[in-house]
Structures are given as structure tokens and as C-alpha cells.
């Protein structure tokens, strides 16, 4: 149930992200409750019920980590928490367990900021992910004046920002 916004595969499993709240196993017909992320096997299509990360808002982009980080699923979206840990729009989870795995500086993509003139929340959502085989590149779209729109380069092994390009235009 819900909409699928992103797919990634490691060759053994398929990872689904979006606003997904339930995944129906095509083999057993049983629905499993999920929280915006799900995984099923490539070979038989069975839902991996033990892989259950909890994400507090939709996921828009997924990518298998490059190189030494290939055991991680990198995700982008408009979430602010993954498995009850603060992660503002960008996080990594373990492909085998779904636990948060790998560092990620929580200040790379700004969290929710209240616009003083409208008293409304403004935020940036990660909409695109790619890699050059070593680094992660993410595109974010901000809502509201002065909120980050642009691209970032991140070292996944340290979770630290390498550079940020604030283009002041939606990058999606």
C-alpha cells in the first residue's frame, strides 16, 4: 500500500522506498506492515519481514553504497528520523539488517526551519542520489525562502560533506 518512489537492487534483494505502508508477499499473499521502506528477494519475490527500517516520512531516492560501503543502502527523502535516530533527508542502513549503518553528518541537508515571516515550516528534501564509485552526490529541493536547493558531495566512509553547491533552484 502507498506509492513507490525509488528502487535499488544489490542483485539478491530489491529495496523499495516511498510512502509505502504495507507490502504483499506474492508467494504467500500475506501483507507485511512496513514504514516507507521494504525489501523482497529477487529469486522468489518473498518479502523480507526481518528487514524493517523505520523512516518517519517518504523516501524519494535509493542507492547501493559504492566500494567499501556496498553493504549499505543510501536513502534520500523528506524524512528527519531513521530508526529513531536524527537523519535529515540523508541516511545509510545496512542491507542485511536494516539498522542505521555508517556515519552521516546530520547537518549536510538542513532540518526543518520555521520561516519568520510566515511562521510556516521550510525544509529540504533529497530527491536524487548517484555515485562516481567513491563519493555520494545528492540533489535536494528546498521549500521556502532561504532553504537549501542544490547538490552535495559526501564521503560515505566518514559521512562528512566534501562540498555543497547552493544553486537556489530545485534540483530534482
Q: Between residues 7 and 143, which one has the greater pLDDT? A: 7
Q: How many CB atoms lie within 10 A of CB 77?
A: 29
| Whole-structure pTM value | 0.89
Residue 95 has pLDDT above 80, yes or no: yes
pLDDT tens figures, 131-155: 999 899 999 888 776 677 889 999 9
Residue 170 has pLDDT above 60, yes or no: no
Mean pLDDT of 116-143: 86
pLDDT tens figures, 11-24: 999 999 999 888 88
Classify residue 124 as exposed, middle or buried by CB count within 10 Å of its CB (0-12, 13-18, 19+). buried
Question: What is each CA distance from 49 to 24, 31, 32, 38, 81, in whole angstroms?
Answer: 11, 10, 7, 8, 21
pLDDT at residue 121, rounded to an integer: 75
Q: How many CB atoms lie within 10 A of CB 46?
A: 15
DSSP 79: -
Amino acid at each position: 500500500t502507498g506509492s513507490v518512489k525509488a528502487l535499488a537492487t544489490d542483485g539478491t534483494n530489491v529495496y523499495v522506498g516511498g510512502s509505502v505502508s504495507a507490502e504483499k508477499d506474492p508467494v504467500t499473499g500475506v501483507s507485511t506492515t512496513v514504514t516507507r521502506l521494504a525489501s523482497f528477494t529477487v529469486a522468489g519475490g518473498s518479502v523480507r519481514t526481518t528487514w524493517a527500517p523505520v523512516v518517519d516520512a517518504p523516501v524519494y531516492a535509493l542507492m547501493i553504497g559504492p566500494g567499501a560501503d556496498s553493504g549499505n543502502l543510501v536513502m534520500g527523502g523528506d524524512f528527519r528520523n531513521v530508526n529513531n535516530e536524527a537523519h535529515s533527508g540523508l541516511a545509510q542502513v545496512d542491507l542485511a539488517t536494516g539498522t542505521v549503518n555508517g556515519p552521516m553528518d546530520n547537518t549536510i541537508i538542513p532540518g526543518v526551519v520555521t520561516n519568520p515571516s510566515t511562521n510556516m515550516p521550510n525544509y529540504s528534501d533529497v530527491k536524487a542520489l548517484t555515485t562516481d564509485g567513491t563519493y555520494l552526490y545528492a540533489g535536494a529541493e528546498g521549500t521556502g525562502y532561504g532553504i537549501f536547493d542544490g547538490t552535495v558531495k559526501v564521503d560515505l566512509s566518514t559521512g562528512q560533506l566534501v562540498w555543497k553547491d547552493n544553486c537556489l533552484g530545485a534540483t530534482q
